[in-house]
Amino acid sequence: MTTVISGTSGVTFPAGGVGNPAGDVVGTSDSQTLTNKIIQGGAITRGTAVASTSGTSISFTALPSWVKRITIMFRSVSTSGTGNPLFQLGTGSTTYTTSGYLGAGSTLDTSTVSTATFTAGFGLNISSAANVIHGSIVITNIDSNIWVASGVFARSDANTTTTGGSISLGAALTAVRVTTSNGTDTFDAGSVNIIYEG
């Protein structure tokens, strides 16, 4: 991959690179091509927040092939029914994996813990239309097309919900979506967004 820095003032290159002599500086009108150089770290990209006030699912598509970690964030999200929220991973243009997930979601309700397993997605064990949910789930690539997830959410009634799991996809991940376990409940409050990084 070739990275071009152009129109950036005050970038100084170290010695040892072909075409990048020590002290070479990119000025306001100069450009410099970096070939076969290791660039540490990567930018975090934030998507566009989507109002979760209608529809049965919210999707974020066309994720770059280099993505290794995705965070899905909820702000005051609510649904119309008792279906549990699900996070599903997509491959191809619009194909979402709806089976094969391993893991569970648990809710601490005062002094009682309730847990449910999920196979159709990474799930939140929150089965009430009255719940308003805040928090995030982090989905990370562990190897090849295998992804693991871990999330912590809080409800406006002060109860806490956690989730975790893994899934082996049949192809590279290209999209994520939020839906419900019954597929018919609609979102009726809040907003959803993602950040992703390499």
Predicted TM-score of the model (pTM): 0.80
**Of 92, 88, 26, 20, nearest in space to 57 by CA:** 88
pLDDT band at 89 (very low <50, low <70, confident <90, very high): very high
Total domain count for the chain? 2
What confidence tens digit (pLDDT) does each residue in 47-80 have? 999 999 999 999 999 999 999 999 999 999 999 9
| Whether residues 111 and 22 fall in one domain | no
| Whether residues 9 and 89 fall in one domain | no
* Cβ-based burial of 136 (10 A; exposed 0-12, middle 13-18, buried ≥19): middle
| Whether residues 13 and 80 fall in one domain | no
| Whether residues 21 and 81 fall in one domain | no
Q: Assign residue 189 the CATH number of its domain.
A: 2.60.120
Residue 180 phi/psi, 5° resolution? -130, 165
**Of 2, 26, 31, 30, nearest in space to 12 by CA:** 26
Please check the confidence at residue 91 and state whether its pLDDT lies above 90: yes
